[in-house]
């Protein structure tokens, strides 16, 4: 038997562990959501939070994006104001989870813009976390220049594409 095709003995255990963790994650995602129940006589009320998709949607509708200057991942004052208001709402709705998408305008290479989009999304997560929002409730993804909000050329169009967008998960 060719030794190049044999896996080291420890890698079988690692693969099994990875598969087990993946299956456990899938199964955890299939659990039924918690529902509120009316307490019976002599029972304490159920204080668990129930996910409220409408509350999450309303939160994002009020402040779903911030914009950036050219070639920058630094939060502008208007972006900070938007995120301050969003953080207040996010702390009130701890059941809501989000994906923060980073976007860029069409200038620059694909690789450069993917990295810049990731920086923009990460800056938003960091800012919200500094305001008391649990960072485990947020994930980041960069689309670079691949998903423009507007098609065209010129600063007015490009400014609308340099953004981070909050999407309900």
Interval 97-115 mean pLDDT: 97
Q: Contact 134/164 with Cβ under 8 angstroms?
A: no
Percent of the chain with pLDDT over 70: 68
Q: Specify whether the CB–CB gap between 164 and 124 falls below 8 A.
A: yes
Q: Would you say residue 21 lies in a domain?
A: no
Nearest to 147, CA basis, from 117, 112, 119: 117
Q: Which domain, by its residues, includes 60?
A: 53-168
Please report, for the domain that includes residue 80, its CATH number.
3.30.1330.60
Please tell me the total count of domains within the chain.
Answer: 1
Q: Render pLDDT for 47-101 as a digit per residue (tens, 0 to 9).
A: 334 456 787 887 777 678 999 999 999 999 999 999 999 999 999 999 999 999 9
Choice between 41 and 75, residue whose per-residue pLDDT is larger: 75
Average pLDDT of every residue of the chain: 79
Q: What is the pLDDT of residue 42?
A: 46
Calculate mean pLDDT across residues 1-7.
45
- Let me know: does 165 contact 60? Beta carbons within 8 Å: no
- Beta pairing, strands 138-144 & 98-103: parallel
Q: Does residue 105 lie in a domain region?
A: yes
Is residue 151 pLDDT above 50, yes or no? yes
Report the pLDDT averaged over residues 153-157.
Answer: 95
Tell me whether residue 79 is in a domain. yes
pLDDT at 26 over 70: no
Strand order in the sheet with 65-67: 65-67, 163-168, 98-103, 138-144
pLDDT above 90 as % of the chain: 61
Asked whether residue 28 is domain-assigned, the answer is no
- Please indicate, yes or no, if residue 31 is contained in any of the structural domains: no
Interatomic CA distance for residues 128 and 90, integer angstroms: 9
pLDDT at 154 over 60: yes
Q: Is residue 57 part of a domain?
A: yes
Written as six digits, the tokens of 73 are: 């991942």
d(C-alpha 62, C-alpha 21), whole Å: 37
What value does the mean pLDDT take over residues 123-150? 97
Predicted local distance difference test score (pLDDT) of residue 52: 60
**pLDDT of the residue at 4:** 46
In the predicted structure, residue 44 carries a pLDDT above the cut 50: no
Instruction: Tell me the mean pLDDT in the region 25-42.
Output: 42
Distance (Å, rounded) from C-alpha 93 to C-alpha 123? 21
Closest CA to 161 of 122, 111, 117: 117
């Amino acid at each position: 038997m060719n030794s190049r095709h044999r896996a080291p003995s420890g890698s079988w255990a690692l693969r099994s562990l990875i598969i087990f963790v993946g299956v456990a994650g899938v199964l955890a995602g299939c659990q039924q959501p918690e529902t509120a129940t009316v307490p019976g006589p002599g029972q304490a009320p159920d204080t668990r939070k129930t996910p409220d998709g409408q509350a999450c949607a309303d939160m994002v509708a009020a402040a779903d994006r911030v914009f950036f200057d050219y070639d920058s991942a630094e939060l502008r004052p208007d972006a900070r104001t938007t995120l301050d208001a969003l953080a207040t709402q996010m702390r009130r709705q701890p059941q809501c989870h989000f994906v923060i998408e980073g976007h860029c305008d069409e200038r620059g290479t694909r690789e450069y813009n993917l990295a810049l989009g990731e920086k923009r999304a990460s800056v938003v997560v960091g800012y919200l976390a500094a305001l008391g929002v649990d960072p485990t409730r947020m994930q980041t993804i960069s689309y670079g220049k691949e998903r423009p909000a507007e098609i065209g050329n010129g600063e007015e169009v490009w400014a609308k594409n340099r953004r981070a967008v909050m999407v309900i998960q």
